[in-house]
Chains A and B, each alone.
Chain A
Amino acid sequence: MYLYDGIDQRLVDERVAQFRDQTRRFLAGKLSEDDFKALRLRNGLYIQRYAPMLRIAIPYGLLSATQLRTLAGLARRYDRGYGHFSTRQNLQLNWPRLEDVPEMLAELADVQMHAIQTSGNCVRNVTTDPFAGVAADEIVDSFVWCELIRQWSTFNPEFTYLPRKFKIAVSGAAADRAATFVHDIGLHARRDAAGEVGFRVIVGGGLGRAPMIGRVIREFLPWRHLLTYLDAILRVYNRHGRRDNINKARIKILVKERGIERFRAEVDAEWAHLENGPATLTEEEVRRVEGRFTRPAYEALADRPPPRPGAFAAWHRRNVHRHKRPGYAAVTLSLKKTGVAPGDLTAEQMDAVAALAERYSFGELRVTHEQNLVFADVRQDALEALWRELRALGLATPNIGLLSNIIACPGGDFCSLANAKSIPVAEAIQRLFDDLDYLHDIGELDLNISGCMNACGHHHVGHIGILGVDKSGEEWYQVEIGGSQAAPAALGRVIGPAFARHEVPWVVERLIELYLAEREGEAERFVDTVHRIGIEPFKEHVYGHADTPRRHREPVGA
């Protein structure tokens, strides 16, 4: 955990006081609805379909057991006893009362948490690899760089009213588990020939209604220059990003309209003034931030042999991950049990998970962008005991990386932006694919569902992506295949006309059928087959030939 110093704490406390005052002025009629909206969004407060929604920041997804208990308490006292972990590694509470929010923020501040910049047109919570600091392929511990960026972005006076929201992701390992090519800025750590740490800087990626793969603006940016270079990119964007049309206001549109060459030249021209200026990072500062993170007191242990076949081994195979220290492992707690909304956790489960984190993983956990939780530092000799406890809590579904590990936004059940529901679609698919052996046979498959084109469920980068669309007041679902969040990132392609909700599980089944018939060996994943043979055969298998009868129309499992 990063532990606040006196100044970190003071700033968060001052933010609570500021928001308390803003809420007071709004309730007293001194702040207009519109102005208050711009301010409350900066504290993660939306007014949703049925009630306000508060989005609490979990900086780079790292959480202590104490913090999780606080979240449980908030969910219990101000909400309906549960919370929703989002694809941005944040926690959303769906039923708080506006009047209570300042008090909720004060309680969060007591455990070094906040809802700062979880919405609004500013730099949002920076996200990273859930295996930061423990991955076997680590280049740097990305948490340290995320915290440096958190401080740089928090209340940055110049970049407080950007044209649109701004999302930064950092990957500190060889494999990109942070989806750096689909963020406004992606930073991927690397070392140059001399061993110096730097970042490949990717700009202009993003999902939403105009999905784009980011472009490399700089192959290697030495670490000292990280913040000044971010300043340069943000300044060009702040001054020149489009403000005339909300749908064209993201940096990806600016990069596309100017072309990466011209955009890079503008950033470099700006950076020429900032390079080596006061915001240039120092070794001392990086060490200081690194030193404020608590580190697990690892013991000298040996790796254990893999488990014998059985239920524990099935879970071990999917949900246990290699650790850089011998004798330890990282464990994913699946929040994707069939019948539970993806990413949802009850207050009781939060308390229980907090207790388990203390007993098994040095009192810390991470939230993943796949809406699961990770215990990063579990002794291998304790895995079986942990598995039994997780099973009792319903958090040991052995489906990480598999089709039923569905990523889904809250959708039309909660969100006022949604065109269609997401959660019942996820559940219907999980019910159809509930045979674990079959799921394992299908192998790795990312299935993502978004309830509207804002793409909070990241459907464009799902191997199978499902998008809720509105057709004259009715909910329909468009299906894409071939997307990928891991490098090389790819956007899915729509297979054809949209489907009714009850047809969606059947469509997934048809896609899987064709894949299983076509794949060349078990190592070829669904997405690999799509990339190898193209989407046409899948289209044909789902929609049928033009001369064959109309496609299946019966409800499945209804």
Chain B
Amino acid sequence: MATLIRRGAIASLSAPEGAGAVLRLEAHEDPAAHAHRLASVARIEVHFPKFGDGRGYSIARLLRERHGYRGELRAVGDVARDNLYFMAQCGFDAFELRAGEDAQEALSAFHDFSEAYQASAARPQPLFRRRRA
């Protein structure tokens, strides 16, 4: 059974989820089309149809940075250990690992890199603006 990682820790999928509606976005969807609902959903799931399909990364940044979504943002689908670091940078805070992933191994993914050059959901200021501070 798939494992859920939420806010850097292993959670169980069978644990009770919070109440409220879940918005699921497919990779081709435009988050702007759902902007009016974002304040009322309990969580948003973004579906990754394939390991190498990167559309969900842009969707996550748009949700966090443009639409100001602050709730749980969960990556679902073909989600593997080696995607987690970049997903977290783009604003995901929950990850439903695909079957067969080693959850303990996956937790270490969040420490793959200790710094990033770019602005992102996790680091709203690019490195060159943070250097000055």
A-side residues, CB < 8 A to B, are 7, 10-11, 14-15, 18, 22, 25, 30, 34-35, 38-39, 121, 151-152, 154-163, 227, 235, 238-239, 243, 273, 277-279, 281-282, 284-285, 288
Contacts and interface: CB of A to CB of B under 8 A. Distances in A.
B57 A160 contact: yes
Contacts of A161: 51-54, 57
Given A158-B120, A238-B57, A10 B114 contact: yes
Contact of A30 (B105, B112, B113, B129): B105
B127 interface: yes
| Leading 9 A-B pairs by shortest Cβ distance | A161-B54, A157-B89, A157-B86, A285-B128, A151-B117, A279-B119, A278-B119, A158-B57, A161-B52
B112 A159 contact: no
Interface string B114-131: 111111100011111101
Contacts of B89: 157-158
Interface residues of B, number: 36
A288 B128 contact: yes
B26 to A, nearest CB: 12
Contact of B112 (A14, A152, A285): A14
Contacts of A35: 51, 80, 82
A11 B127 CA distance: 12
Secondary structure type dominating chain A contacts: helix
Interface in B49-98: 51-55, 57-59, 61, 66, 80, 82, 85-87, 89-90
A380 B112 CA distance: 49
B61 A158 contact: yes
A411 B57 CA distance: 36
B132 interface: yes
Given A162-B54, A279-B118, A282-B128, A155 B80 contact: no
A7 B120 CA distance: 17
Contacts of B85: 157
Given A10-B115, A152-B117, A238 B86 contact: no
A418 B122 CA distance: 42
A149 to B, nearest CB: 11
A121 B51 CA distance: 12
A278 B52 contact: no
Contact of A278 (B87, B116, B129): B129
B54 A152 contact: no
A231 to B, nearest CB: 8
Contacts, number: 97
A14 B114 contact: yes
A545 B112 CA distance: 66
B82 A39 contact: yes
Contacts of A282: 128-129
Nearest to B121: A157
Given A11-B117, A160-B57, A238-B54, 8 more contacts: A157-B86, A157-B118, A158-B54, A158-B118, A161-B53, A239-B59, A278-B129, A279-B126
Interface of B: 51-55, 57-59, 61, 66, 80, 82, 85-87, 89-90, 102, 105, 112-120, 124-129, 131-132
A279 B80 CA distance: 29
B86 A160 contact: yes
B116 A155 contact: yes
Nearest to B125: A278
Contact of A155 (B59, B87, B117): B117
A25 B66 contact: no
Nearest to B82: A39
A273 B80 CA distance: 31
Contact of B115 (A7, A157, A162, A243): A7
A121 B124 contact: no
10 contacts: A11-B115, A15-B113, A121-B52, A155-B117, A157-B118, A158-B120, A161-B51, A227-B126, A238-B55, A288-B128
Contacts of B128: 281-282, 284-285, 288
A277 B112 contact: no
Contacts of A156: 117-118
A31 to B, nearest CB: 8
A238 B132 CA distance: 31
Contacts of B118: 152, 155-158, 279
Q: Residue among A161, A238, A277, A284 with the most chain B CB within 10 A?
A: A161
Nearest to B60: A158
Nearest to A39: B82
Contacts of B54: 121, 158-163, 238
Nearest to A18: B112
Nearest to B48: A161
A158 B58 contact: yes
B38 to A, nearest CB: 16
A403 B87 CA distance: 49
B53 A243 contact: yes
A279 B128 CA distance: 9
A10 B113 CA distance: 9
B116 to A, nearest CB: 6
A189 B54 CA distance: 31
A462 to B, nearest CB: 33
A11 B113 contact: yes
